[in-house]
A = this chain, B = another copy of it.
Amino acid sequence: MRVGLDVGGTKTEAVALDDAGGVVARVRRPTTLGPDGVIASILAAVDEVAARSGGRATSVGIGMPGQIVPGSGVVSHAVNLGVRSLDVAAILGATLGVPVDVENDVKAAALGAAVLRVSAPSPAPGGVEPGLAYLNLGTGVAAGLVTGGAVWRGARGAAGEIGHLSVDPAGPRCRCGQRGCIEALAGGRAIAERWGRPAALPVAEVFDAAEAGGVDGADRALAGALRDDLVRGVAAAVRVLVLTADVDVVVLGGGLTALGDRLVAPVRAALRRSGETSPFLRSLHLDERIELLPAGSPAAALGAALLGAERGEEVLSVG
């Protein structure tokens, strides 16, 4: 029984899969931060999901924020988890006695999104994806690429880190020091900082303020500008992913996609507008290539569970 985990800064999600790849158990627990806390959180989640499924883990895959050197199980710079560097695979492998794979959470979610898409009533011919990108719109912006059923990691595991591509030299200053990065336009943290008002859901508040008549003129203008930046940032990310890797579909996920069609409809419109003047862009049908990850899908945990399979333990028909 494969177990997969998505270890986030507030919660850890775990799924257990049967031999056919179906989710037979799913649990969510709070994450304890720091190296020891993260390891303890993972072990507790593995125990709980195994108990709930009535089976025993034969492999464990873990998706977590931070950098993972390709081919290693070492996570580094996982700031949100309070982890500087941790050999997660070695520690857990020794404790659990089963193969342990570790992957960046966005890349794991990309693999999960590819599997979910094939399992769903097929929108693609034969259900096979020649290439899929998962674009995570959360605190930051990053993407994961999947082709031939496997994660594309690149030379140093940086593939998909498009958040720090600048698409406007006169755009807002990014935390990275550049101006007009995709993340400075479309990242949840950047939008909240530019909005500058305390809010539980700042991006939703920005959309409300941009659309509502009840706020004063200045607030409304700022909200409108922030919303426009978010939309053009996401549209730019989609163009980058398709024109560079020519993925067949870009699946949008992450916290900001709770906005649903309020976000997706203007992004589609922006992509259609660039096609109006450019026959080349129009021929790519960019607006038709974006999809929302179904709300509540455990994409990262599911993808993490399949990391070993992707490595060649068994064959999966995920395109």
Where the two chains meet, the residues of A that have a C-beta atom closer than 8 Å to any C-beta of B are: 130-131, 143, 145, 147, 152-162, 164-170, 174, 176-178, 236, 239-248, 274, 276-281, 284
Q: Are B178 and A277 in contact (CB under 8 A)?
A: yes
Q: Are A246 and B131 in contact (CB under 8 A)?
A: no
Q: Are B243 and A153 in contact (CB under 8 A)?
A: no
Q: Are A177 and B245 in contact (CB under 8 A)?
A: no
Q: Among B143, B177, B245, B274, which residue has its beta carbon within 8 angstroms of that of A178? A: B274
Copies in the complex: 2
Alpha-carbon gap, A143 to B155, bound state (A): 17
Q: Are B244 and A162 in contact (CB under 8 A)?
A: yes
Residues of B within 8 A of A153 (CB): 246
Residues of B within 8 A of A154 (CB): 130-131, 245-247
From A161, A165, A169, A243, residue with most partner B Cβ within 10 Å: A243
Q: Are A164 and B281 in contact (CB under 8 A)?
A: yes
Taking CB as reference atom, which chain B residue is nearest A132?
A: B155
Residues of B within 8 A of A159 (CB): 244-246
Q: Among B131, B145, B176, B279, which residue has its beta carbon within 8 angstroms of that of A155? A: B131
Assuming A159-B246, A164-B280, A178-B278, what are 5 further A-B pairs, CB within 8 angstroms? A154-B246, A162-B244, A167-B169, A240-B240, A244-B244
Residues of B within 8 A of A131 (CB): 154-155
Q: Are B176 and A246 in contact (CB under 8 A)?
A: no
If the complex has contacts A277-B176, A277-B178, are A244 and B246 also in contact, measured as CB distance less than 8 A? no
What's the nearest-Cβ distance from chain B to residue A66, in Å?
Answer: 13
What's the nearest-Cβ distance from chain B to residue A306, in Å?
Answer: 21
Residues of B within 8 A of A245 (CB): 145, 152, 154, 159, 244-245
Residues of B within 8 A of A280 (CB): 161, 164, 176
